[in-house]
Amino acid sequence: MESGLKKKWIKEIELGPRQILFGLEMDDARLTDLVLSCITEQCAMHGQAALSHIITEVSTRNSLPAPEILQMVFGFVHELKLCFYLDGRQIPALEAKQKLMAAPDTEIRVVLNKKVPAAAFKAVQEAFQQVGAPFADHEDQHAFAFAALQMFLQWHHDVKTFYARARTDACPGREQMKILLAFTGRLLHNQTAHAVLTDCFKQLDHLPGVARTFQTIRAFYTKDIGFWKQLVQTMPQFGENLPRITENPDAAAAYSRLAEIVSSSHPFDQIQTAQALFKIVNTCHKQIESQKLENCRRQAKDKIDALITKLTADMAAHDIDPDLRNPILLHLRQTRQKFYLLPDIRQVNRVCQDAVDLATDQFEELTDT
């Protein structure tokens, strides 16, 4: 995207004190307020302001010459009211001019130069070192603040995403996430470097704890959520077999502890424990389900065998032609062999009942003719 800056404007920039501007319909103080308010507004919203955006915004809104506005911004840098940044590094006005001359679309960023006291900044650095922030050793306040701002923005975005999922899937952590969203919201209300550092300093006592809470929530919703959903979905199935599970002391104790974890509002530090307990209960559950399936297959086979015996006798009593009765009986025998290939009780019962209904209907049709 082109910046809209022209090389002619850039070439004419004077590096030094701002000159009195002539030919404008408003005085220099008024223009100063317009430019600074635009920069302040953008920094409050985004932490930094794009130089090209400032020029376009002020000139468009107020029908003012863009070259004079550009000159004024460079004058503010000379007066130490502003700083230029490029790729996260502070650069002097001369370098900024050279970069723009070489490529007018270079993304020069403008930052308000107000700083917090050195002692406050040091305390904030130490707090971020405690939470392992990768930028904690940055000595430049503005670079540090902007890196912290990006971290808080990412936290806020991630927690909003996790919260939406928690509400949909009834997952834990919603109260903790409300606290995180309120915390990041306070830190993001004014995104200038000075405001970010000042707010961090005010929150020094809470920052390490909040960071740990975020890391815990993020780990759960990025790494453990799959297991948690499986656990929640499987617990009712375990409940169906609870009388049998309680016959196994280890499985019974594991189920009881799992139920406590699932109902906890803060289960995050118990995920590994839950995984181990789940294996114990699930192994017992599968053994019970396997036994139930075998019993179901046996009962279905016995039902088909009983029907074959009954139909054989009934067909003989009605003197039904073997060519008519044999296909009915053959289908029943083939169905009986299928039971051991079916993976669950529902399918066994359905296939068995379908075969019984079909054979019964076919026999009735034969006897009605």
pLDDT digits over 120-145, tens only?
999 999 999 998 999 999 999 999 99
Q: What is the pLDDT of residue 31?
A: 79
Going across the sheet that includes 82-86, the strands are: 49-50, 109-112, 82-86, 89-91
Asked whether residue 239 carries a pLDDT value surpassing 60, the answer given is yes
Q: What is the pLDDT of residue 103?
A: 93
Contact between residue 110 and residue 50 where contact means Cβ atoms under 8 Å apart: yes
Q: List CB contacts of 192: < 8 A, sequence separation 6 or more.
A: 40, 43, 44, 47, 111, 112, 114, 145
Asked whether residue 323 carries a pLDDT value surpassing 70, the answer given is yes
| CA 67/CA 81 separation, integer angstroms | 19
Sign of the torsion angle spanned by Cα atoms 57, 63, 67, 68? negative
Sign of the torsion angle spanned by Cα atoms 352, 353, 359, 363? positive
* pLDDT per position as a tens digit, 14-72: 887 655 444 444 456 777 888 999 999 999 999 999 999 999 999 888 888 889 899 98
Taken as a whole, the chain contains a residue count of 369
Q: What is the pLDDT of residue 261?
A: 95
Q: How many CB atoms lie within 10 A of CB 242?
A: 15
Q: Which of 158-172, 206-220, 324-338, 342-356 has the lowest mean pLDDT?
A: 158-172
Find the mean pLDDT for residues 299-320: 93
* pLDDT per position as a tens digit, 60-114: 888 888 898 999 899 899 888 999 999 888 999 999 999 999 999 999 999 999 9
